[in-house]
Amino acid sequence: SGLMRGDLVFNGIRVWNPRVFLTRDSAGTDTFRQWLRGDEPPAEGGGGGVSLRLDGVRILAGSFALRLPAEERHVGGRLRVEQGEDERRWRAIDLDDLDAQLARVEISPDIGIEVEIGLASGTVDALERAFAIEGLRGGVRVLDGRVAVEVRSIQAPGIDASGTVDVDMGAEGGVETAISARVPDADLRPWNWLAEFLPPLTGSLSVDGGFGPEGQRWSMTDVDGRWSGGRVRGRGTVAVGDAVRFDDVDVVLDDLPVSALADYLPEPPAADGLLTGRVALSGEAGALQLGGDLTLAVDSGGPVSTVFEGGLSTGGGGVGFDRFRATLDPIDYAVLGRFFPAVGLTGTGQA
């Protein structure tokens, strides 16, 4: 260890098959900070701590592993949790098959770790499914229990994005992660396993949010995409904790097939058509406050247009309404009857 006790600069480094393993216990002690700050007694004549700079680093077939104490609520969720030899549960965050070109790496007690990433790829294994990343460019800084990542560009399954990631490992109650991303080219279909409420949308969006001891919260803005042949634009916030809650969701639909909403309705629609209009909603899933205006068009028959507002509940195996008001003008009863056979009427009018 004496070699690492001074100010060292290396250039043109190639590293094959490196393995880095870091842990952080429930008391807040991590292996990296113990080593970096020179907690071990310094060599005779040397100071404590490390000051090291590497320029032009190439990493081949590397791996990085981080283990954080897991709480009971993490077990059975989307996060990857493993049990150690001491029976303790750990959140497992791994980066495998790492191939990276690092323009600069600096390590010291004052700045922690700073890394300038020229280009990197690998496999992230931190959730219930692993996924590959490519074309990563940006920078990383690790200091005092915080990890700040600037992502200038990254490609993951169905996603081409840029943004920032900030991980606070010393947050009260546990680890907090904040993410801000701009996604000009997105396909959410490969990610529906991560959150069942994600629609199979392709297009562009911006996302700000994160997850921590209290759950997850995600705000989406500038959403503009295609869904089953229709167009969807809008914004909104989804919070996932003990329950799923929607806040300030405002969506504009253009020719969206009714069949695309089958997974979000209490029962599959009895017929199909195209929806155009606007829907605003808020509240917990199963007890939503709705408002908006929609027009339903079908291949044959007149349109059905409605303006509506009120509460909609789907608990207990049925559908309930709370102070719900709707005006239908115009209405083709034969078209309405395709979706609600009990109507049993024909003709046009208002309701």
The token duo for 81 is: 């949790």
Number of H helices, E strands in the chain: 2, 20
* Residue 175, token pair as written in the block: 């680890």
Looking at residue 33, what is its pLDDT?
Answer: 53
Nearest to 186 by CA among 171, 198, 174: 198
The predicted structure's pLDDT at residue 73: 63
Per DSSP, the three-state class of 333 is helix
Residue 41: per-residue pLDDT: 46
**What pLDDT score was predicted for residue 42?**
46
pLDDT tens, position by position, 77-116: 677 888 877 778 888 999 999 999 999 999 887 788 899 9
SS3 72: helix
128: amino acid identity, one letter: E
Query: In this predicted model, what pLDDT tens digit does every residue of 133-180 receive, in sequence order?
Result: 999 999 999 888 788 999 999 999 999 999 999 988 776 767 788 999
Convert 68-86 to b/e letters by CB count within 10 Å (16 or more is b).
bbbbeebeeeebbbeeeee
pTM value is 0.78
* Bridge partners of residue 220, in order along the sequence: 207, 236
Of 80, 52, 54, 76, nearest to 66 by C-alpha is 80
CB atoms within 10 A of CB 318: 9
Give phi and psi for 4, each to the nearest 5. -95, 20
User: Looking at residue 29, what DSSP letter applies?
Assistant: -
Q: Which residues of 198-209 are buried (b: 16+ CB within 10 A; e: fewer)?
A: ebbbebebbbbb
Q: Tokens 């590397």 label which residue?
A: 62
User: pLDDT value at position 244?
Assistant: 87
Give me the torsion for CA of 11, 12, 16, 18, rounded to 10°.
30
How far is 29 from 23, CA to CA, in rounded Å? 8
CA nearest neighbour of 25 among 78, 77, 107, 91: 91
- The pLDDT of residue 156 is 95
Stretches where the chain sits below pLDDT 50 are 1-4, 36, 41-47
Assess contact for 198 and 222: CB atoms under 8 A.
Answer: no
Residue in 132, 138, 106 with CA at minimum distance from that of residue 119: 138
Dihedral, CA of residue 161, residue 155, residue 144 and residue 218, to nearest 10? 50
**What single DSSP character describes residue 80?**
-
Query: What is the per-residue pLDDT for 144?
Result: 80
